[in-house]
């Protein structure tokens, strides 16, 4: 039976590219997005779900249990980068913290019976340095990073729980040339890298035999600036 990977946030950019990569690598990807994908990938089992809503999360968990018992990994990639309004704060905490915890616990039987299982949390470089403009987002990603340690302790050693904390991957759509130049210069390696750093790091984590509870920062050397 083909091993499955549950990937949240697979509609565009990193999520879309990672889903395509994993599908081509021979996995059955269960791709979760809030709306139908813009560019569907052949073979991906798409599940439309708003992961800030408890009912949608419950339906997703039920689907995975029934249709994908040979689960190999969970990649918590879904993300919201919103202003700090009351409703947005609740949504970001639900998506980045409550939902990953709930999914991990609900699927614990599938997770712990696998010979090797990986849980990968896609966090953010701001989790370790804060953000004056997006307080709730940074706080939520910090909490997600902390769950990496907790689940690495909770689950047996056969379950490797790790995080990836990227810096800039893509520039804002429609941004002007001045903004783009200023933004990429914040990193020592001043480029817009796209999805490649995440794809490469996911591949490494899923093959690594001596790592759990760790966080890999891929920020182009932003901390050096």
pLDDT above 80: residue 19: yes
Rounded to 5°, the CA angle 126-77-122 comes to: 40
Please indicate whether residue 137 is annotated as part of the active site.
yes
- Kindly state the tokens that stand for 23: 């599908």
- The whole-number pLDDT of residue 184 equals 86
Query: Can you give the residue range of the structural domain that contains 124?
Result: 4-224
Grouping H, G, I as helix, E, B as strand and the rest as coil, residue 182 is helix
Whole-number Å distance between alpha carbons of 177 and 180: 5
Whole-number Å distance between alpha carbons of 217 and 104: 23
- The whole-number pLDDT of residue 220 equals 92
Q: Which of 167, 170, 171, 225 is nearest to 201 (CA)?
A: 167
Kindly report the pTM of this predicted structure.
0.95
Task: pLDDT band for 130, please (50, 70, 90 cuts).
Answer: confident
**Total of domains in the chain:** 1
SS (H, E, C) 95-142: HHHHHHHHHHHHCHHHHHHCCCEEEEEECCHHHHCCCCCCHHHHHHHH
The residues with which 164 forms a beta bridge, in sequence order, are 122, 216
N- to C-terminal Cα separation, the chain:
48
Of the residues 137, 170, 179, 204, only one is catalytic, namely: 137
CATH code assigned at 154:
3.40.50.720
pLDDT digits over 139-195, tens only?
999 999 999 999 999 999 999 999 999 998 988 777 778 878 888 888 999 988 999
pLDDT digits over 52-73, tens only?
999 999 999 999 999 999 999 9
pLDDT digits over 29-56, tens only?
999 999 999 899 999 999 999 999 999 9
Whole-number Å distance between alpha carbons of 55 and 35: 16
């Amino acid at each position: 039976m083909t091993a499955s990977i549950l990937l949240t946030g697979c509609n565009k950019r990193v999520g879309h590219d990672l889903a395509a990569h994993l599908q081509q690598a021979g996995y059955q990807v269960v791709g979760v997005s809030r709306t139908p994908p813009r560019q569907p990938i052949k073979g991906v089992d798409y599940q439309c779900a708003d992961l800030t809503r408890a009912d949608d999360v419950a339906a997703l968990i039920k689907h995975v249990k029934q249709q994908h018992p040979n689960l190999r990994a969970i990649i918590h990639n879904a993300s919201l980068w919103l202003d700090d309004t009351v409703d947005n704060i609740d949504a970001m905490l639900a998506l980045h913290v409550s939902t990953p915890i709930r999914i991990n616990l609900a699927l614990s039987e599938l997770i712990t019976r696998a010979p090797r299982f990986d849980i990968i949390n896609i966090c953010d470089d701001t989790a370790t340095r804060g953000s004056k403009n997006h307080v709730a987002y940074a706080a939520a990603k910090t909490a997600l990073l902390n769950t990496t340690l907790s689940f690495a302790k909770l689950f047996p050693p056969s379950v490797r729980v790790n995080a990836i904390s990227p810096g800039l991957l893509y520039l804002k759509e429609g941004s002007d040339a001045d903004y783009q130049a200023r933004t990429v210069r914040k990193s020592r390696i001043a480029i817009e890298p796209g999805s490649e750093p995440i794809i490469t790091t996911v591949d490494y984590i899923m093959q690594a035999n001596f790592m759990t509870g760790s966080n890999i920062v891929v920020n182009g050397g932003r901390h050096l600036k």
